[in-house]
Structures are given as structure tokens and as C-alpha cells.
């Protein structure tokens, strides 16, 4: 994730903070400093950090519930628009998604009960950890903020928690693809409403609305992609008419091969045809600039390439391609002999054909 940095690792999940979150804290602190000096700036920064601490607890509600169903969460990202727990996969059963979606709001509800209990015990009086900006106190301010977060998260605006609850209920009746598409349309309608409110008075709502709209569309696309690729393995989506390069070939030879056809990525092999690496067009251009046309492809190719086998399932192959950061991955047999190449373009073409064939006449 660009512009994000690991802050801690909790229960095996990396907690990452986006740089814009740091800028947000700095901006609120600066604004408070202008109004009330150093103490106000510190109080404002501490309050915002505590709010995001509550958001983090909310996300770990999702994470720990997902873990009960065998779903890992490699990272959780904190940004100015909230937290995002990046599950390695979505729950397969609607009931599981329902419980995972509700676990976060349940944690927020517990936080509200705890803070409300503190207010009840003191009858809302006393210092309650003094907090300045706007002459508010810390506990009441956190109490109100968590109520806002709970209500906002439970709006049926997919992919927020309320939208995921709605999707889980729809999927049980309509199926995954159709249920997701309905939930997405409802979520995008809410997003447009939130955007209109932002135009009236709060520009931050416009950013949130844009995030909801685009994230909902991306989720729908991902679900449709998974459905279209169900039952497909790497051998059904790989390019078999391809050229390879020996590891000792020069960049000049690679340029000739690049210009001779439409292939843009070339598996690099040893004398026995076993995979050594992958030469992409970017590697080739960079190598020509840094080392000249006489350098060998072995000096500029990507070496840390995790290939797929012919029987690798579609989702696993797609995820490996996505996480590799490369535009293509070689397909190899049990002896690491290259037998094909999967690229983003030919996967897209395959999915378009399968969606068309699956569409009702």
C-alpha cells in the first residue's frame, strides 16, 4: 500500500497508518493551536488519536470474528476516512459474512456502553479527563463520536458494515452476484445522498461519498470476476504461443524479439528450459538505459518470480499475479519447464467471454 507505514503487529495483523492520517492529526492540532495555544493543540491531537483507537478496536472486531472462520487478515489500514481490514478472502457463506460484518459495530457498541457507564457513575459531572477544543470533556466527546461512528457504519451503504449485512441477507435469497449487485446499487444511492450533503456544508462528506461509491463498484467487479472464474485453472487462461529468452541473451536480442510481435513479457530460462526469471518491457528499457544493449537479460530481469502451475485455481493464480507486482507470470510444469504465460489482458479476455456465455439470451 503506497504511502502507508507499519505501526504495529497485533495478533498477526500488520497495523498500517496512511501518511494522510498523520497529516490529518497535524492539521487538527494546528487549527486548535491557532485558537488556544499548545495545550489545545495537544488535546486535539490526543482526542483524534483516541477516536482512531476506537476505530482500530472496531476493525479488530471484524478481524477476530473472521479468524473464527479460518480467514486471515494480513493488514488493517488507518486513514482519514476510517479503518479498512483487508481480509485475505471474503466469507463464502452469507451467515458468516453477517457475523463478520456485525462484529465491528458490536465492539463499538461495547465502547459506547463503557463510556456511557463512566458518565452515569459520575452523573456527567466532574472533570472526566479534561479536553479543551470547544470546551468539551474527553469522555463525553468520545461517547458522542462513537455513537456517530456506530450509526454511520450501520447505514445500508455497501461496502460499509450495514451494507455488508444487507448483502448477506440478499445473497441468501438472490445468490452472490445478484445480491451483491443490488447491495452495491443501494450503497451507491446512499453515497450520492451523502455527496449532496457534502456540497451543502461539509466537503469531507464528498470524499467519503466518493470512497463508498468506488469501493462498492470495485467489490461488485471482484465478486463477478470470482463467479466468472469459478472452476477455471491456469492452463485454461494461459498463453501457450509464446517466446522465451535464454538467460545469456543480450538486451539487443530481447529488443528484436519485442519488436517482432505483440508479446511484452518474456520468461527467461536456462539451457534446459527451466524458469530463471521474467523480463518485462520496463526491465528491458531500464536495462538499456543503465547498462546498454550488450548487457544480458539475466542482469536486469525480475528474479523473485513465483510461477503458477497448470492446475492452479483461478482465484489463487489471480491473487498471485496481483501481489507479484508484475504484468505477467509464467506457468510451469513439475520440473519448472515453462509451458505458458498468464497476463492481466488474457485473463480479462477470458472473463469477458465467460460472462457473455453465462448471460441470459
Shared-domain flag, residues 7 and 81: yes
Instruction: Place 361 in a pLDDT band, splitting at 50, 70 and 90.
Output: very low
Helices (H), ranges, 83-175: 94-121, 138-153, 161-174
Q: Give the residue from 333, 355, 351 showing the smallest Cα distance to 240.
A: 333
Average pLDDT, the chain: 84
Nearest-angstrom CA–CA distance, 45 and 32: 9
**59 carries an active-site annotation:** yes
Asked if the structure places residue 290 within a domain, the reply is: yes
Nearest-angstrom CA–CA distance, 277 and 245: 10
Torsion angle (degrees, nearest 10) of CA 52, 54, 57, 58: -100
Provide the whole-model pTM: 0.70
- Reported as a single tens digit per residue, the pLDDT across 306-356 is 888 988 888 788 878 887 888 889 999 988 999 999 888 877 777 777 666
Shared-domain flag, residues 133 and 11: yes
**Residue 347, pLDDT score:** 77
Instruction: Place 44 in a pLDDT band, splitting at 50, 70 and 90.
Output: confident
Asked if the structure places residue 186 within a domain, the reply is: yes
Last residue of a domain, one of 187, 207, 228: 228
pLDDT greater than 90 at residue 25? no
Q: Residue 238 is part of a domain; what is its CATH number?
A: 3.10.580.10
Beta carbons within 8 Å of 164's beta carbon, 6+ residues apart: 97, 98, 100, 101, 158, 183
Burial 57-67 (b: 16+ CB within 10 A, else e): bbbbbbbebbb
Shared-domain flag, residues 50 and 65: yes
pLDDT greater than 60 at residue 288? yes
**Residue 234, pLDDT score:** 83
C-beta of residue 90 within 8 angstroms of C-beta of residue 97: yes
Asked if the structure places residue 198 within a domain, the reply is: yes
Shared-domain flag, residues 213 and 306: no
pLDDT greater than 70 at residue 183? yes
Nearest-angstrom CA–CA distance, 105 and 99: 10
Extract the runs of DSSP E, i.e. beta strands, from the chain: 4-10, 13-18, 75-79, 82-86, 245-246, 266-269, 275-279, 308-309, 328-332, 338-343
From the list 59, 97, 219, 265, the catalytic residue is: 59
Domain that holds residue 322: 234-353
What's the total number of domains in the chain?
A: 3
Shared-domain flag, residues 115 and 259: no
The cell 538505459 sits on which residue?
289
Shared-domain flag, residues 204 and 57: no
**Residue 99, pLDDT score:** 93
**Residue 33, pLDDT score:** 79
Top-confidence residue, 95 or 159: 95
Last residue of a domain, one of 179, 197, 228: 228
How many residues in total does the chain contain? 361
Shared-domain flag, residues 183 and 307: no
Shared-domain flag, residues 211 and 88: no
Shared-domain flag, residues 199 and 316: no
C-beta of residue 79 within 8 angstroms of C-beta of residue 23: no
Instruction: Place 63 in a pLDDT band, splitting at 50, 70 and 90.
Output: very high
In sequence order, the β-bridge partners of residue 9 are 14
Q: Give the residue from 343, 322, 332, 326 showing the smallest Cα distance to 237.
A: 343
Measure the CA angle with vertex 280, ends 279 and 286; round to 5°. 95
Asked if the structure places residue 82 within a domain, the reply is: yes
Shared-domain flag, residues 33 and 145: yes
Asked if the structure places residue 246 within a domain, the reply is: yes
Shared-domain flag, residues 73 and 111: yes
Q: Is the dihedral of CA 139, 141, 145, 148 positive or negative?
A: positive
- Reported as a single tens digit per residue, the pLDDT across 193-225 is 888 888 887 777 888 888 888 888 887 877 777
- Reported as a single tens digit per residue, the pLDDT across 105-152 is 999 999 999 988 888 887 655 555 555 555 567 788 888 889 988 998
Last residue of a domain, one of 209, 228, 247: 228
Shared-domain flag, residues 290 and 261: yes
Amino acid at each position: 500500500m503506497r504511502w502507508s507505514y507499519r505501526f504495529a503487529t497485533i495478533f498477526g495483523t500488520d497495523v498500517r497508518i496512511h501518511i494522510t492520517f498523520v497529516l490529518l492529526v497535524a492539521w487538527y492540532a494546528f487549527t486548535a493551536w491557532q485558537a488556544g495555544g499548545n495545550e489545545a493543540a495537544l488535546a486535539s491531537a490526543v482526542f483524534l488519536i483516541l477516536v482512531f483507537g476506537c476505530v482500530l478496536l472496531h476493525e479488530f472486531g471484524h478481524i477476530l470474528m473472521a479468524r473464527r472462520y479460518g480467514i486471515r487478515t494480513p493488514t488493517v489500514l488507518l486513514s482519514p476516512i476510517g479503518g479498512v481490514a483487508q481480509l485475505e478472502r471474503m466469507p463464502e457463506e452469507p451467515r458468516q459474512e453477517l457475523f463478520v460484518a456485525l462484529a465491528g459495530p458490536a465492539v463499538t457498541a461495547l465502547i459506547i456502553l463503557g463510556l456511557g457507564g463512566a458518565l452515569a457513575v459520575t452523573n456527567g459531572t466532574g472533570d472526566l479527563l479534561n479536553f479543551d477544543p470547544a470546551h468539551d470533556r474527553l469522555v463525553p466527546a468520545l461517547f458522542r463520536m462513537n455513537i456517530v461512528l456506530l450509526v454511520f457504519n450501520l447505514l445500508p451503504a455497501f461496502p460499509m458494515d450495514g451494507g455488508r449485512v444487507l448483502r448477506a441477507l440478499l445473497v441468501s435469497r438472490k445468490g452472490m452476484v445478484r445480491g451483491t449487485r443490488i447491495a452495491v446499487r443501494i450503497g451507491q444511492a446512499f453515497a450520492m445522498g451523502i455527496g449532496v450533503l457534502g456540497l451543502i456544508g461539509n466537503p469531507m462528506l464528498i470524499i467519503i461519498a466518493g470512497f463508498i461509491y468506488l469501493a462498492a463498484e470495485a467489490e461488485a467487479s471482484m465478486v463477478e470476476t470470482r463467479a466468472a472464474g469459478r472452476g477455471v485453472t491456469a492452463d485454461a487462461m494461459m498463453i501457450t504461443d509464446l517466446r522465451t529468452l535464454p538467460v545469456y541473451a543480450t538486451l539487443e536480442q530481447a529488443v528484436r524479439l519485442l519488436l517482432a510481435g505483440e508479446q511484452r513479457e518474456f520468461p527467461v530460462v536456462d539451457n534446459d528450459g527451466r524458469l530463471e526469471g521474467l523480463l518485462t518491457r520496463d526491465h528491458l528499457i531500464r536495462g538499456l538505459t543503465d547498462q546498454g544493449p550488450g548487457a544480458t537479460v539475466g542482469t536486469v530481469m525480475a528474479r523473485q518470480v513465483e510461477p503458477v502451475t497448470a492446475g492452479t485455481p483461478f482465484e489463487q493464480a489471480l491473487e498471485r499475479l496481483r501481489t507479484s507486482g508484475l504484468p505477467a507470470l509464467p506457468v510451469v510444469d513439475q520440473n519448472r519447464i515453462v509451458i505458458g504465460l498468464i497476463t492481466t489482458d488474457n485473463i480479462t479476455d477470458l472473463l469477458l467471454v465467460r460472462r457473455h456465455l453465462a448471460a441470459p439470451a
